[in-house]
Structure 1
Amino acid sequence: MLSLDAPLVAVAWLYIFAKTWRADYLPWISYIALALVVWVIYVTDRLLDSSIQDGTGGRFESRHVFHRKHAKLFRIAAIFAGILAMILVIGSMPMRIFENAGLGIILVIGFFALSVNSSTGPNDIPYAKNVMAGLAFGFGTSVIAFVYTAFDWWEFVMSPQLVCFAVLCVLNISAIDLWEHAGRSSDPEVKASDELALTLPLTLLGGSSIYFAARDHELATRPFFYAILTGAALLHIINRTRSRFSMDALRVLADVALLIPFVVFLAASKS
């Protein structure tokens, strides 16, 4: 309800990226700044969704009702959080963050543009918006770790770690829409199609993580790909057993599927 899930996931994976890429001197302010930025974006998105649905007579979900009910407080808090994040970034982070944040800003703008101009109906799945959101989240989380490394731009953008995490984020976000879409339909073919739309890419992502882990003979990035594999496997399990849970429970479980990999990463790193 308070939009704290996404910042928590972002901070956990920033730690994973920092340790994987040996950016061990990443200052704690970086985690706070990332959490604030992600929180502001998610609150703004939920307030925007509430406004759009209110104008179109759309169906409100519990998180939208809560944000709409407390819209004034959320707006004030988002403004203060945004100002604080800007102060922390400008005052404490290297100039390299400004040189490399452009793509993230473009992705966020694209995400909000799709949110405002999307004409999808209640039975449509906003794939373009979900892809943009996943890419923005993946890039924004990892770029902070990147600026404290010696990698060049293309080495960062094309890194298997960033690509796999961004894909995991896209699938995590899309899973909610697919589950809602399947739940609204009584057609067995639609339900099967929605399940396959998630199962196939999750399987490919899991296979890719195993491949990249096996290629790393120095074991430096294996814990990272074990974490990706764990996230993909958990989403797959939730997808296959989704009929046992309510939509609110599925939303929580989708977040858990991105947080448990943090524990797996810590355990794999120590071993």
Structure 2
Amino acid sequence: MAAVWTAFFAASFHVALPWTAPVALALAVWIFYAADRLSDSQHEASSLEDRHRFHARHARGFFVAIGFAVPTVLALLAEVPHTVRLAWLLLVLPLIAYAAAVHWLKLRVAKEWMVGLFFAVAIGAPSLLNNNHPAEWLCVATFGVLCWLNCVRIARSESAATDRATAWAVNHFRGATLAFAITGAAIAVFVPQARAVALAIVTAALLLRALDLLEPRVSAVRMRALADAALLTPLILWPLMRYIQ
């Protein structure tokens, strides 16, 4: 998903980006995700979700994969434009702070918001550093809310929320996603430069809302997978980009 959105942002704003950039970011996101789940799996078994238990059962394999992935990311970053590489490396600092707060200091943080914000900034960095257009900032902010709603959808299935805003959205998910989709549609209409990204965001938000209809019949694990798959809407809109912009 990280690779798809990074490439889609760049294509939408006419930014030339080597293939190594989205691949490097996708691998880096996976490394962080796997490491976070491995750290979570050290908690009491009764507090773990299925994904944490899976990582715990296959911890050795994950550590080996991470060991290969880290130098691969560093090699790929060598082919990424210097400003983008520097921006992504600087984003490691808040990641370290997040890990320290959650796993070492055991602080309660608004994980859903932080994940959404960080992911959006990382995705939008190559485009922002190239053009720095207001439409791009608007898209990054809107995409950040979409990522948060994705986390809300998952928290809704797992009955878990780390802050009041997320807890409210969990209880009012359909209304929140509909309002967000309407806002995204308005951006697509009134900000032509952001139209492709806005339409992909709107489509993803509506798909997340539609998943609520499956809630009673789908397990939390499958719902999590479907919620992530709902964010792959750029793959649908990419062939239509020449007609959208």
TM-score, normalised to structure 2's length?
A: 0.85
Figure out how many residues of one structure are paired with residues of the other and give that number.
236
Q: Is the 8 Å Cα contact of residues 223 and 265 (structure 1) preserved in structure 2?
A: yes
1:138 correspondence with 2:120? yes
Q: Which of 197, 218, 223 pairs up with 2:196?
A: 223
Name 1:187's counterpart in structure 2: none
CA distances 1:132-164 after superposition (whole Å, capped 9, x unpaired): 1111111112213434x2327xx58x7111001
Which residue identity does 1:266 align to in structure 2? W
Which residue identity does 2:40 align to in structure 1? D
Name 2:25's counterpart in structure 1: 34
Name 1:86's counterpart in structure 2: 74
1:262 correspondence with 2:199? no
Name 2:141's counterpart in structure 1: 163
Q: Is the 8 Å Cα contact of residues 16 and 265 (structure 1) preserved in structure 2?
A: no
Name 2:164's counterpart in structure 1: none
Please state how far the C-alpha of 1:209 moved relative to its aligned partner: 0.8
1:174 correspondence with 2:138? no
SS at match of 2:46: coil
Q: Is the 8 Å Cα contact of residues 230 and 264 (structure 1) preserved in structure 2?
A: no
Question: CA 1:193/1:132 → structure 2, altered by over 3 Å: closer, same or farther?
Answer: closer
Name 2:3's counterpart in structure 1: 11
Question: CA 1:242/1:192 → structure 2, altered by over 3 Å: closer, same or farther?
Answer: farther
SS at match of 1:241: helix
Question: CA 1:192/1:101 → structure 2, altered by over 3 Å: closer, same or farther?
Answer: closer
Q: Which of 163, 169, 183 pairs up with 1:208?
A: 183
Please state how far the C-alpha of 1:170 moved relative to its aligned partner: 1.1
Unaligned runs of 5+ in 1: 1-8, 121-125, 183-190
Which residue identity does 2:146 align to in structure 1? L
For 1:268 and 1:28, the matched residues in 2 are separated by 21
CA distances 1:54-87 after superposition (whole Å, capped 9, x unpaired): xx34333332222112212211221221122122
1:45 correspondence with 2:36? yes
CA distances 1:78-137 after superposition (whole Å, capped 9, x unpaired): 122112212221x212221244336622432343234314466xxxxx6x0111111111
For 2:151 and 2:106, the matched residues in 1 are separated by 16
Which residue identity does 1:244 align to in structure 2? R
Please state how far the C-alpha of 1:257 moved relative to its aligned partner: 0.8
Name 1:6's counterpart in structure 2: none
Q: Which of 197, 217, 240 pairs up with 1:244?
A: 217
Q: What's the % identity of the aligned pairs?
A: 28
For 2:146 and 2:118, the matched residues in 1 are separated by 12
Structural RMSD (CA): 2.5
Show the 5 A alignment for 1:59-208.
Answer: 59-89=47-77, 91-101=78-88, 104-116=91-103, 117-118=105-106, 128-147=110-129, 149-151=130-132, 155=134, 159-181=137-159, 194-196=170-172, 198-208=173-183
Please state how far the C-alpha of 1:267 moved relative to its aligned partner: 4.1
Which residue identity does 2:83 align to in structure 1? R
Which residue identity does 2:13 align to in structure 1? W
For 2:114 and 2:46, the matched residues in 1 are separated by 22
Question: CA 1:113/1:170 → structure 2, altered by over 3 Å: closer, same or farther?
Answer: farther
Q: Is the 8 Å Cα contact of residues 11 and 35 (structure 1) preserved in structure 2?
A: yes
Q: Is the 8 Å Cα contact of residues 37 and 55 (structure 2) preserved in structure 1?
A: yes
